[in-house]
Chains A and B, each alone.
Chain A
Amino acid sequence: MFSLFNKRINYRIAFAAVFLMAGIQPALAADGPSDSIFGNPLALAMLAVMALLAIVIGVLAYVLLGVADMRLQERKKSKETGATVPAVLLLLFLTIAPTVFAQEETTESATAAAASIGGLDATSFYVMNGVILLEFLIIMVLLVNIRILIKKEQAKLLEAGLSVEEVRELKKTKLNWWDKMNRMKPMSQEADIVLHHEYDGIRELDNRLPPWWLYGFYMTIVFAVIYLWRFHVSHTAPSSEEEYIASVTKADMEIREYLKKKGDAVDENTVTLLSSSDDLSEGKSIFQKSCASCHKESGGGDVGPNLTDDFWMHGNDIKSVFKTIRYGVNAMPQWQNQYSNKQIAQVASYVKSLHGTNPPAAKPPQGVEIKDEAVVDSTQAVVTKE
């Protein structure tokens, strides 16, 4: 009677955990995909860990209850009743644990974002970590308990004067936690479940399906239904495109805030020629890394035009050069995604500093002639050409 009750309650716990997770997901995400914590990989990873640990707890509890139950019945035979207390305590603990877990999860949605950790608000982050820690503790306690009970069991057998071999033999008729977890028959009873056929000497047993496997299978099916529902029926989960738009919008906001704070807002309208040796050497190193393959290390030009002569295709003032590098022109790639505006200003200034260096094997002139003394911008350059 007691053992039957145990088993049932254990499944119930497992199922409760599944539906709990399943039920919470859409509820939390209902307020739109953008501010759902389910768009956050960290949150999802932590939820997955939480779920996994919950399953482990369920399995271990099942085993422990089984072992404890065995001891309980033995004690009952010997008219001892003490063991019920830990068993009952354990049951209590197990029924409470998921509830606590549930309560803590629901509080997350209520807390407002204070500080952000990995894209999660701090409260959620710590609460989730707390839950994971708690689950680890529970697992430790369960493991220690199982170990103690198993040790006691073995010691008792050895005490009873059995040799190690005999204990091993006896084990074949008894079930350990592993066998119980998988609902295995004791090895000695194998004859009961062997099927009446053989293929080239291979016989088959008819062991029952390991329960954790079967319920795991059901859980993945439940997952599939909820997943399809959220993405294609309720639309509480973002499509690839929505996800993209959300991430870009968020990043733009963060960048704007960052730049505002930093006060570094150089762009093609405000850039000036830099001349400090720090800036130029920084510019030089970027030039060597990203520009030299087309313009040669000397700037004399190869695939790209010569940068040291008086001929320019897109203007030679610092603002034009900055713009050409930042946005690219025709075959010249854009660099705005690789380098910050400050870095582009450094490279542009370095390029300007190469003027008149007359490197060997330079490329013949391309573009229009602009004398360096004349400060002209690109639109005027066009006029000159005409």
Chain B
Amino acid sequence: MQIEKFYYDNKIVKAFGLATIVFGIVGMLAGLWAAIQIYYPASSLNLPATTFGRMRPLHTNAIIFAFVGNASFAGIYYSLQRLCKARMFSDKLSWVHFWGWQLIIAAAAITLLMGKTTGKEYAELEWPIDIAITLVWVIFGINMFGTIIKRREKHLYVAIWFYIATWVTVALLHIVNSVEIPVSFMKSYSWYAGVQDALVQWWYGHNAVAFFLTTPVLGLMYYFLPKAANRPVYSYRLSIIHFWALIFIYIWAGPHHLLYTALPDWAQSLGVVFSIMLIAPSWGGMLNGLFTLRGAWDKVKEDPVLKFMVVAITCYGMATFEGPLLSLKNVNAISHFSDWTIAHVHIGGLGWNGFLAFAILYYMIPKMWGTELYSKKLAQNHFWLGTIGIILYAVPLYWAGFEQSLMWKSFTPEGQLRFQFMETVTNIIPMYVSRSVGGGLYLVGALMMVYNLYKTMVKGTFIPNEAAEAAPMIKETHAKKEYWHRVIERRPVTLLVLSLIVVAIGGAIEFLPTFLVKSNVPTIASVKPYTPLELQGRDIYLREGCYTCHSQMVRPFRDEVARYGEYSKAGEFVYDHPFQWGSKRTGPDLAREGGKYPDSWHYNHMYDPRSMSPGSVMPQYPWLLDDALDTASTPAKIRAMRTLGVPYPDGYDKIANRDLMQQADSIAASLKRDKIKTPSNVEIIALIAYLQRLGTDIKTDPAKAEAATVNP
């Protein structure tokens, strides 16, 4: 048999690796900045771009898509070539993929800071960027499959199964969740509304965690861990079972982000049970990782790569055990909307994703530069600093979340809420401080890695094309009986199609009834579309990322009804493109904000929140008081909404601005009565209109009705 000589492409791996490092640091800095703003609001600098509501999407997008994304691509390009015994299918496609992805990241950073957002978490990027992501993802897919097709290794190793499932599922998630109708360049409305939008969004949001932050990283673990430990993978059959079970079950669990909301109960229950069933498949990955180290634990003491991996895998195990527990309704009642969730995701983000990315960088870079790591000691210090950082980050936030939530729920024996919202915030400020210290340490550790890797690169010489040789794949007939799964492992397309079918089932069963069966979203006659001014105000609410700190979902709990008002009903959100239920209450819920305070309160509060509620940690929004409202966009927005089925009358787009000005004038007049002089065409007027509308469609307040009769 003729042995073939060929070369692995290290240059593309180097490019993705460097991008990982750069965007990792950028993403962590953005996170640290956002974390500091929570207890030191002045650090928003009173600039639109650096305010929390825009920094937080920048942080999440940078970490997920730029840091972990690039790390996964680096690891996949490195391992896929070696597991297929082939160079990447096309160098050209590799580079189109690389530069395409970096351009998307740059565009994302710019547009997010400009406030261009769809308002859906982790899917904030606007429609032109969504299209670019789709194209680049397809190119990545062609390149990956091309490589698999021309492989010299007959069977696909487990890491590649995970890569394939990742590719096909992320494509599905991204396309379905990004269906939106463009209003202009960089502005669109989600195709779905209210409950349906929430279900699709969290199906996406949850599975972005599953298929962007978990499955590709598990694939990397399956390659880099046995390589670094020089041990065989623990169990082949465990790989098979946990792979298929994981991708099948994961996709169902999205609704656990919507427990006790207006989502139909049956969908919530599916979210709960599939989350519980997810424990074992997730742990299968952890066990296969940790057990592979059997007999190599002495190496773990020495080798920083293995050290990082062990903590990463352990964090994965903890996060995937905690996740299902948080999906139980009675635990979720406490944890949801609090900092508990933030702590939970950072065990996954800092521990699992961050540490595994560090591990593969520490592994690949010395290898590709043909040298040893510059300083093992520095890497050990990075390890300890990072680990302490994670603990200092997470523990105070767990505490904060638990304590604040219990304070929210606490009543006096007379039946009054024991704490006002502000008291529950002031109480956990020290925990917020500690969290940012932990995050800071973690960042310092990462900077140590940058220095260490830089020195390593200087020390060695980069090998752009690494020589390798292997026999070509022979097409032999398999007469002898073999394990059924081996057959699938020879057939990448079958594997792809099977993965797609397996992940499509859960989504379909949850979506179809919610969309088709009317009783799932009972209509409420008094719920009317937003007025043009309110619609414009709502877009400002989206632009400033208010949803990153304020929910709009009163859950059916005694304390929430007492604090905010009647609990939210599914029918209230039918015109909400996109929904704005939020996922965190750094500030109070706003679902019933309308009519709670005078217009002038909102005006002063936006200018300086602390003037109206002392101790508030909300940033200032001074620009809203000066910037003119863009009324030119109104007709296009009304037309888009009509296309989506919002019942504005025929031709309303032409006269919408007339109504808009009328309402704006009336708000300006009401402000004037409270000694505030303002023109009526500024953004704050639109935002006040929106806030005063929130939740008033079905607001029935007996005391108010009574008061109305008393006062003519």
> Taking the nearest CB of chain B, how far is it from the CB of A303, in angstroms?
5
Cβ-neighbour of A337 out of B237, B269, B563, B596 (below 8 A): B563
B710 touches A382 (CB 8 A): yes
A204 touches B558 (CB 8 A): no
A241 contacts chain B at the CB level, 8 A cutoff = yes
User: What's the Cα separation between A320 and B114 when bound, in Å?
Assistant: 50
B711 touches A247 (CB 8 A): no
B279 touches A216 (CB 8 A): yes
B344 contacts chain A at the CB level, 8 A cutoff = no
A259 contacts chain B at the CB level, 8 A cutoff = yes
Q: Which of B299-307, B407-415, B431-439, B657-665 contacts A (4 or more CB under 8 A)?
A: B407-415
B514 contacts chain A at the CB level, 8 A cutoff = no
Q: In the complex, which residues of chain B have a beta carbon less than 8 angstroms from the beta carbon of A194?
A: 232
B83 contacts chain A at the CB level, 8 A cutoff = yes
B266 contacts chain A at the CB level, 8 A cutoff = yes
Q: In the complex, which residues of chain A have a beta carbon less than 8 angstroms from the beta carbon of B236?
A: 195, 204-206
Cβ-neighbour of A338 out of B280, B333, B417 (below 8 A): B417
Give the 5 A-B residue pairs with the shortest CB-CB distance, closest first.
Answer: A327-B703, A217-B280, A224-B273, A244-B556, A331-B598
> Taking the nearest CB of chain A, how far is it from the CB of B195, in angstroms?
14
CB nearest to A202 among chain B residues: B226
B157 touches A202 (CB 8 A): yes
B707 touches A382 (CB 8 A): no
Give A239-251 as 1s and 0s: 1 = Cβ < 8 Å from B's Cβ atoms.
1110110011001
A243 touches B556 (CB 8 A): yes
B232 touches A209 (CB 8 A): no
Q: In the complex, which residues of chain A have a beta carbon less than 8 angstroms from the beta carbon of B417?
A: 337-338
Q: In the complex, which residues of chain B have a beta carbon less than 8 angstroms from the beta carbon of A200?
A: 79, 82-83, 85, 157, 223, 227
Q: Count of A residues near B, CB < 8 Å?
A: 79
Q: Which of A61-69, A182-190, A352-360 contacts B (4 or more CB under 8 A)?
A: A182-190
B-facing residues in A146-163 (Cβ within 8 Å): none
> Taking the nearest CB of chain B, how far is it from the CB of A215, in angstroms?
9
Q: In the complex, which residues of chain B have a beta carbon less than 8 angstroms from the beta carbon of A190?
A: 232
Give B222-250 as 1s and 0s: 1 = Cβ < 8 Å from A's Cβ atoms.
01001100001111111101000100000
Q: In the complex, which residues of chain A have a beta carbon less than 8 angstroms from the beta carbon of B266?
A: 232
User: What's the Cα separation between A290 and B422 when bound, in Å?
Assistant: 10
A184 touches B710 (CB 8 A): no
Q: In the complex, which residues of chain A have a beta carbon less than 8 angstroms from the beta carbon of B596?
A: 331, 333
User: What's the Cα separation between A251 and B559 when bound, in Å?
Assistant: 11
Q: In the complex, which residues of chain B have a beta carbon less than 8 angstroms from the beta carbon of A304?
A: 598
Q: In the complex, which residues of chain B have a beta carbon less than 8 angstroms from the beta carbon of A290?
A: 420
Known A247-B557, A264-B414, A382-B711; 14 more pairs at CB < 8 Å: A172-B295, A187-B295, A209-B238, A227-B272, A231-B269, A244-B556, A244-B561, A244-B567, A255-B413, A294-B612, A324-B707, A328-B704, A328-B707, A338-B416
Give B602-623 as 1s and 0s: 1 = Cβ < 8 Å from A's Cβ atoms.
0010000001111000000000
B-facing residues in A330-354 (Cβ within 8 Å): 330-331, 333-334, 336-343
Q: In the complex, which residues of chain B have a beta carbon less than 8 angstroms from the beta carbon of A293?
A: 601, 611-614
Q: In the complex, which residues of chain A have a beta carbon less than 8 angstroms from the beta carbon of B223?
A: 200, 202
B284 contacts chain A at the CB level, 8 A cutoff = yes
> Taking the nearest CB of chain B, how far is it from the CB of A339, in angstroms?
6
Q: In the complex, which residues of chain A have a beta carbon less than 8 angstroms from the beta carbon of B227?
A: 200-202
B-facing residues in A91-145 (Cβ within 8 Å): none
> Taking the nearest CB of chain B, how far is it from the CB of A361, in angstroms?
10
B265 contacts chain A at the CB level, 8 A cutoff = yes
Q: In the complex, which residues of chain B have a beta carbon less than 8 angstroms from the beta carbon of A289?
A: 420
Residue with the greatest number of chain A CB neighbours at <10 A, chosen from B277, B280, B563: B280
Cβ-neighbour of B234 out of A207, A227, A240 (below 8 A): A207
Q: In the complex, which residues of chain A have a beta carbon less than 8 angstroms from the beta carbon of B245?
A: 217
A303 touches B612 (CB 8 A): yes
> Taking the nearest CB of chain A, how far is it from the CB of B51, in angstroms?
22
B563 touches A184 (CB 8 A): no
Residue with the greatest number of chain B CB neighbours at <10 A, chosen from A205, A209, A227: A205
A203 touches B710 (CB 8 A): no
Give A255-284 as 1s and 0s: 1 = Cβ < 8 Å from B's Cβ atoms.
100110000100000000000000000000
A294 touches B598 (CB 8 A): yes
Give B481-506 as 1s and 0s: 1 = Cβ < 8 Å from A's Cβ atoms.
00000000000000000000000000
Q: In the complex, which residues of chain A have a beta carbon less than 8 angstroms from the beta carbon of B712?
A: 382
B675 contacts chain A at the CB level, 8 A cutoff = yes
**Could you list 23 A-B pairs, sorted by A, with CB under 8 Å?**
A41-B333, A182-B287, A182-B291, A184-B291, A197-B155, A199-B157, A200-B83, A200-B85, A200-B157, A202-B227, A217-B279, A217-B281, A258-B414, A264-B414, A293-B613, A294-B601, A304-B598, A327-B703, A327-B707, A331-B595, A331-B599, A339-B416, A340-B414
B674 contacts chain A at the CB level, 8 A cutoff = yes
B294 contacts chain A at the CB level, 8 A cutoff = yes
User: What's the Cα separation between A228 and B330 when bound, in Å?
Assistant: 16
CB nearest to A305 among chain B residues: B674
A-facing residues in B125-171 (Cβ within 8 Å): 153, 155, 157-158
> Taking the nearest CB of chain B, how far is it from the CB of A353, in angstroms?
23
Q: In the complex, which residues of chain A have a beta carbon less than 8 angstroms from the beta carbon of B707?
A: 314, 324, 327-330
A313 contacts chain B at the CB level, 8 A cutoff = yes
B237 touches A209 (CB 8 A): yes
Describe B's contact surface by its main secondary structure. Answer: helix
Cβ-neighbour of A224 out of B79, B277, B612 (below 8 A): B277
B232 touches A331 (CB 8 A): no
User: What's the Cα separation between A53 and B661 when bound, in Å?
Assistant: 66
Q: In the complex, which residues of chain A have a beta carbon less than 8 angstroms from the beta carbon of B291?
A: 182, 184, 207
> Taking the nearest CB of chain B, how far is it from the CB of A288, in angstroms?
9
> Taking the nearest CB of chain A, how far is it from the CB of B262, in angstroms?
10
CB nearest to A221 among chain B residues: B277
Q: In the complex, which residues of chain A have a beta carbon less than 8 angstroms from the beta carbon of B265?
A: 231-232, 239-240
A2 contacts chain B at the CB level, 8 A cutoff = no
> Taking the nearest CB of chain B, how far is it from the CB of A362, in angstroms?
11
> Taking the nearest CB of chain B, how far is it from the CB of A13, in angstroms?
20
B235 touches A207 (CB 8 A): yes
User: What's the Cα separation between A338 and B274 when bound, in Å?
Assistant: 39
Q: In the complex, which residues of chain A have a beta carbon less than 8 angstroms from the beta carbon of B555?
A: 240
Give B335-348 as 1s and 0s: 1 = Cβ < 8 Å from A's Cβ atoms.
00000000000000
Q: In the complex, which residues of chain B have a beta carbon less than 8 angstroms from the beta carbon of A172?
A: 295
- The answer to whether residues A258 and B235 also contact, given A313-B711, A330-B704 and a CB cut-off of 8 A, is no
A177 contacts chain B at the CB level, 8 A cutoff = no
Give A24-57 as 1s and 0s: 1 = Cβ < 8 Å from B's Cβ atoms.
0000000000000000010010000000000000
B597 contacts chain A at the CB level, 8 A cutoff = yes
User: What's the Cα separation between A232 and B273 when bound, in Å?
Assistant: 13
- The answer to whether residues A337 and B416 also contact, given A202-B223, A293-B614, A303-B612 and a CB cut-off of 8 A, is yes
User: What's the Cα separation between A188 and B280 when bound, in Å?
Assistant: 28
B284 touches A213 (CB 8 A): yes
A251 touches B273 (CB 8 A): no
> Taking the nearest CB of chain A, how far is it from the CB of B607, in angstroms?
12
User: What's the Cα separation between A200 and B706 when bound, in Å?
Assistant: 79
User: What's the Cα separation between A289 and B333 when bound, in Å?
Assistant: 29
Residue with the greatest number of chain A CB neighbours at <10 A, chosen from B158, B416, B557: B416
User: What's the Cα separation between A178 and B620 when bound, in Å?
Assistant: 57
A15 contacts chain B at the CB level, 8 A cutoff = no
- The answer to whether residues A248 and B601 also contact, given A217-B280, A338-B420 and a CB cut-off of 8 A, is no
> Taking the nearest CB of chain A, how far is it from the CB of B99, in angstroms?
28
B238 touches A228 (CB 8 A): no
- The answer to whether residues A220 and B234 also contact, given A187-B294, A202-B227, A293-B612 and a CB cut-off of 8 A, is no
B690 contacts chain A at the CB level, 8 A cutoff = no
Q: In the complex, which residues of chain A have a beta carbon less than 8 angstroms from the beta carbon of B613?
A: 293
- The answer to whether residues A251 and B703 also contact, given A41-B330, A382-B710 and a CB cut-off of 8 A, is no
User: What's the Cα separation between A345 and B223 when bound, in Å?
Assistant: 70
Q: In the complex, which residues of chain B have a beta carbon less than 8 angstroms from the beta carbon of A79?
A: none
A-facing residues in B419-444 (Cβ within 8 Å): 420
User: What's the Cα separation between A315 and B701 when bound, in Å?
Assistant: 20
Q: In the complex, which residues of chain B have a beta carbon less than 8 angstroms from the beta carbon of A248?
A: 558, 561
Q: In the complex, which residues of chain A have a beta carbon less than 8 angstroms from the beta carbon of B604?
A: 302-303
Q: In the complex, which residues of chain A have a beta carbon less than 8 angstroms from the beta carbon of B557?
A: 244, 247
